[in-house]
Structures are given as structure tokens and as C-alpha cells.
Chain A
Amino acid sequence: MNYLSSSLLLPAIVFLPLLAAIIAFIIGRNRLQGLINISFSLTQFLLVVLTTLLFLDEQTDQSERYVIGGWGAPLGIDLIVDGFSILMLALTGLLTLLITLYSASYFSDKYNASEKSLRFWPLWWFLISGLNALFMSADAFNIYVCLEIIGLSAAALVALQGNRAALQAALRYLLVGLLGSLFYLFAIAILYRSHGTLDLMQIAETASHSFPDKVAMILITIGLLLKIALFPLHFWLPPAHANAPTPVSAILSALVVKASLYILIKFWFDVLGEATTFGASQVLGALGGTGIIYGSWCAFRATQLKLLIAYSTVAQLGYIFLLFPLSEYSMGVSSFTGSASQAAVYFIVAHACAKAAMFLAAGNLILAQGNGEIAKLKGIAVREPLNVLVFAIAGISLIGLPPSAGFIAKWLLLTTAFESGQWWWVIVVITGGLLGAMYLFKVLSLAFSTDPAVVESPTAKSTAPVSSVPVSSVMTTVALILALITLALGLNAEFILNISNTVTEVNGI
């Protein structure tokens, strides 16, 4: 028996959720259902933590390749992780654990959702295994299969709500996702044609400034931008994220769009870095900047709470796209290194935690309130103080106020923008922050407003509308934990940067 290395655990991280999906499907509705799923998520979390620790202990840029089938690339498929992907895996593990805990309550009999749970759990675990498989794949076509697992299960999860708006949002999401994957698949065909291999690193070795590589890069960018929902291709995201069940909204905003983003970053900086140009990255940055302003504005005008948060995702994704122009300034060589990439990585983590917390808190508020109208939230802070607190903390992080993860992320972004001399992005970032403050304080000021009827009768349940259900303490606690993580990340920035530092050390291709 040879010594344990991080790469040996990689297949287990994919297969454990698959196993959980199969078991959830076979046993169907069962009293132990919640318990089984929670224990699976706990096991998976521990496995991911162990892998992360082993990876950090190895002190390498990349783990060893896990060779499936003993063939090795280019004949077979390899699994590999680097600093960025291990961070995404760890994030997935953490959010899976917390949102599974939340879902176990959300889909219990208490909220008349056990019928939905029959479909939710297997699809949920397929989604997680697809995400995990994506983050460790070293094969271009394997990534396509993973993208399809994610896309189809995510669309099916959105449709779970069952009303017309949700079905239509799911259908649109599915069609856009399929279109995006087809563009990606076409690019893969072109890449295989000119490189004769599907392995990402072997493609990177022979990648050049040649015409086919450029076309492939353009096709991949178009396809993945559709899936990431960068402005102006964002049209499908708000309805899909707003109409899904709460835990699904949380994972969609926190991780599923990030999965496509991860692939885009990987291709843009690692695989086809040679084929990208300064102009193209400025275009992506400009789209990101427009997305920040437009998304924030739409969020400000939204009347539904979940729609507001979904538009906020459109805006926040814009910030991450500033990475592309900002990382160009160092000698024109684009590689996923330096402070711009640190800012982007930090932004991804900060946004994932804050947005998940916000969606869960919003879901709790909607349960307590009976519907998702923002105007109806007046004075809810008296009845649901903890959930409003979570919403506020997550909001602080999204606006980028200290002490929160969002503050550090924005700080890194701003300093990079100054250093690189691209001051125009500073204006965009600050305007976006102000607009963010506008739409979030709109909700918070309503929540804290003193409605005389509410203040006079402090006993919570007597004033609650008839349609509302008491929010289970587990659901509030999970949201609170996520919010506290957001705060902790703001106070202890080195932790994330340490993991992503291994990214920084990967020098070029």
C-alpha cells in the first residue's frame, strides 16, 4: 500500500454523491431519508477536507494525475487538481453540507414538500457529483459531459417547484444551457482537429496564436458566457434563480454559474492562453462592467425578494469578469496569476457564501411572510430578527463593506485596478458598490421600519399572516452559519489566499 496522496481521493469525491443519488432514488420516501442524506453530505465534506489538507501538505502546484483505467492521457481520461480547483472542491463540499442540512428541513413533511423531496434528493446528488467531476477533470470532452450533468439536473431542479413560471424558467434555462454546451462541443471538435488530443494540458502545450485556436477560444467563450449569464446573455438567469426552490436557488447562484466560470478561466488562462488578446479581455471587462450597473439597477427595481437577489447575482458576476482585463497588464502575458486572479478567486468564494446565505435567509423570510413581495416585508425584523441579520450580513459582504469577505475581494480588485493603471474599472466598481447599497438598504430599511401594528404586539405569531409557517430553527441556523463564515473570511483573509497562492505559483504554461 503506497502512501496516501490527494489525487487518490479524487474518484471517491465523484462517486460518493453518485452513490447517494442512487440510494435516494431506490429508497424513495422514507423516514430516514433526511438522516441518510445528511450523513452522506457529512462524509463528503470530511473527504473533501482531507483531500484539501493532503493537497496543502504536498506543497505542489498540481496534484499527481489520477490515471483512470491505467491508460493515461491522451488515450484515457485523467483527473487532476490545482490550487484553484481544490478551492472550488472545498467550497462545494462546504456548501453541500450546509445546504443539505437546510434542505432536510425544507423538504420535510412540515412544509408539505415531501412529494418534491422524492425528486429533489437524487437530482441534488447528481448535481453535486457533476460539479465535483467538473472541478477535477483534465479532459475537454469529459468536461462537456460534466457540464451536461450539471445543466440538466439544474434545469430539472428549477422545474421542481411545478408552477408555470418555474416550468417556463426551467425550459428557458435548459435551452440556453444546451445551446451553450453545443458551442463548447463544437470548439472541442476544432481543438481535437488541430491538436489530436483531448487532454487539456497537452492541448496547452501545443496551443498557439493560430487561427483555429482563436476560433475555438471564441466559441468556448460564447458558449460559456451563455451559461454564466454575463450581460447581455443574462436574460435567463433571474427567472430561473428566482422561481427555483430556495436551496436550489442558493446552489445555482453560489456554485452552478461558477462551474462554467471555472472552465472559462481555465481555458482563458491555462489552456488557450496563447490565443487570447488584450482587446478581447477589454470587451469581457466592459460586458462585466455593464452587467454590474445593469444588474444592480434591475435589482433595485425588482419587487420580488428572490428576483432582487437573482439580479444581484448578475451584477456580482460582472465583478468577477473584471479579472480578464486586469490580469493582462503584467507584460501582456496572460496567466492565472497575480493579484487580479487572487481578487477573482476571493470574489468567487465570498460571493458563493454570501449569496447562499442570502438566498437561504430570503427563503426563510418568504416562508415566514407567506409570499415574496418586498413591500410586504415591512417590520419583519421584529418577527424574524435572525434571518434579517443574516440578510444584512450577506448584504454587507455583497456591497463590500468591512469586515466581510466581500470587502477584501473588492479591496484586492481596486488595488489591482490602480496598480495596472486601468482606473476606469475603479469607477465601475465604486458605482456598483453604491447601487448595491441602494437595493440592499431598500430591503433592510423596510424590514426594520416600525410598523405600529407589529410593535404593539411583540408576540411573533399573532401578527403573522395566515399563510405563513414558522421557520424551523435548523434553517435559520444554517443561514446564520453561512453568514458567519462570510464574516470570518473577511477577518481571516489569509486562509483562502493560502490555498489560492498555490494558484499564484503556477507560472505560465
Chain B
Amino acid sequence: MTSALLYSMAGLALFAIGFFGVVVASHVMRKILALNVMGVGIFMFLIALAKRNPLVVDPLPHALVLTGIVIAVAGTALALNLMVRIHHMDQSSQEQSK
């Protein structure tokens, strides 16, 4: 069992755990975090993939991961922003009703 194999399995496990969280968690924050866990799982799988051959390191998956991280950051930021806006809207309407 090589370390690359171990890492790719861990990546798969993270993906599965994340998916479970996305479906089962009901709070948006948890869903967003779970999506990020899923993403990290894929990134880990990709990085393990770069070292399948112990003698050669494939730089392409590394580059894909860097691109993927930036996109994940962007998606997370938008989701958090929407969540915070809904939260404030609820709060101000609650205050008005008081």
C-alpha cells in the first residue's frame, strides 16, 4: 500500500462524508461547510493522483487544484453572503414585528 493510495482513499472518504453532510444537514452553514469538505476530498484525490507513479510527479493536477480552490472560495463567499443577507432580513423583520 503506497501513500498515494492512502491519500486517494482519504480523499474519497472526505467526498463521501461531505456529500452526506450536504444532504442531511439542515443549516445552511453546515451545508456550505460540507460542500467545502467535498471539494477538499476531490482536491486530495487529485493530489494523490499526481503521485501515482513514485518516480514522476505530475504537475497538472496540482494546477487544477489551485484553480479549483479559487473557484471554491468564490462559491463559498457568494453562498455565505446570501446566507448573511437572509439572516439580516429575518432579524429586521422580527424586530419590526416586536
Q: Which residues of A contact B (CB under 8 A)?
A: 141, 145, 148, 151-152, 155-156, 159, 164, 167-168, 170-171, 174-175, 178-179, 182, 185-186, 189, 192-193, 198
- In the complex, the answer to whether A174 meets B68 with C-beta atoms within 8 Å is no
- In the complex, the answer to whether A189 meets B82 with C-beta atoms within 8 Å is no
Name the CB-closest residue of A to B8: A193
Name the CB-closest residue of A to B63: A141
* Given A167-B89, A175-B35, A178-B75, residue A186 in contact with residue B82 (CB < 8 A): no
Query: 6 A-B Cβ contacts within 8 A?
Result: A141-B64, A168-B86, A171-B82, A178-B79, A185-B42, A186-B42
Partner of A182, one of B42, B52, B61: B42
* Given A145-B71, A167-B85, residue A179 in contact with residue B22 (CB < 8 A): yes
* Given A171-B79, A192-B49, residue A185 in contact with residue B68 (CB < 8 A): yes
Chain A residues contacting B90 (CB-CB under 8 Å) are 164
- In the complex, the answer to whether B85 meets A174 with C-beta atoms within 8 Å is no
How many of B's residues come within 8 Å of A, CB to CB? 30
- In the complex, the answer to whether B42 meets A174 with C-beta atoms within 8 Å is no
Q: Which of A141, A148, A152, A171 has the most CB of B within 10 A?
A: A171
- In the complex, the answer to whether A159 meets B82 with C-beta atoms within 8 Å is yes
Bound-state CA distance A156–B82 (Å) is 9
Secondary structure at the B interface, as helix, strand, loop or mixed, is: helix
Interface contacts beyond A141-B67, A167-B89, A189-B45: sample of 17 additional A-B pairs, CB < 8 Å, sorted by A: A148-B75, A155-B78, A159-B82, A159-B85, A164-B90, A167-B85, A168-B86, A171-B86, A174-B75, A174-B79, A175-B31, A182-B35, A182-B38, A182-B42, A185-B68, A192-B60, A193-B49
Query: Nearest Cβ distance between residue B59 and chain A, in whole angstroms?
Result: 11
* Residue B74 CB within 8 A of the other chain: yes
- In the complex, the answer to whether A145 meets B67 with C-beta atoms within 8 Å is yes
Name the CB-closest residue of B to A158: B82
Partner of A171, one of B28, B61, B68: B28
Name the CB-closest residue of B to A155: B78
Secondary structure at the A interface, as helix, strand, loop or mixed, is: helix
Bound-state CA distance A167–B89 (Å) is 10
Name the CB-closest residue of A to B72: A178
Bound-state CA distance A76–B28 (Å) is 38
Bound-state CA distance A178–B19 (Å) is 12
Query: Nearest Cβ distance between residue B17 and chain A, in whole angstroms?
Result: 13
- In the complex, the answer to whether A179 meets B35 with C-beta atoms within 8 Å is yes
Query: Nearest Cβ distance between residue B41 and chain A, in whole angstroms?
Result: 8
Sort A-B residue pairs by CB-CB distance and give the 10 closest, nearest first.
A171-B82, A178-B75, A167-B86, A148-B71, A182-B38, A186-B42, A189-B46, A164-B89, A178-B35, A193-B49
Bound-state CA distance A148–B64 (Å) is 14
Chain B residues contacting A182 (CB-CB under 8 Å) are 15, 35, 38-39, 42
Bound-state CA distance A135–B49 (Å) is 29
Q: Which of B67, B74, B82 has the most CB of A within 10 A?
A: B82
Chain B residues contacting A185 (CB-CB under 8 Å) are 39, 42, 68
* Residue B83 CB within 8 A of the other chain: yes
Question: 1/0 per residue B74-98: CB within 8 Å of A?
Answer: 1100110011011001100000000
* Given A145-B71, A164-B86, residue A156 in contact with residue B46 (CB < 8 A): no
Bound-state CA distance A279–B16 (Å) is 26
- In the complex, the answer to whether B31 meets A186 with C-beta atoms within 8 Å is no
- In the complex, the answer to whether A156 meets B67 with C-beta atoms within 8 Å is no
Question: 1/0 per residue B47-71: CB within 8 Å of A?
Answer: 0010010000000110010011001
Chain A residues contacting B31 (CB-CB under 8 Å) are 175
Bound-state CA distance A189–B43 (Å) is 9
Bound-state CA distance A178–B38 (Å) is 10
Chain B residues contacting A170 (CB-CB under 8 Å) are 82
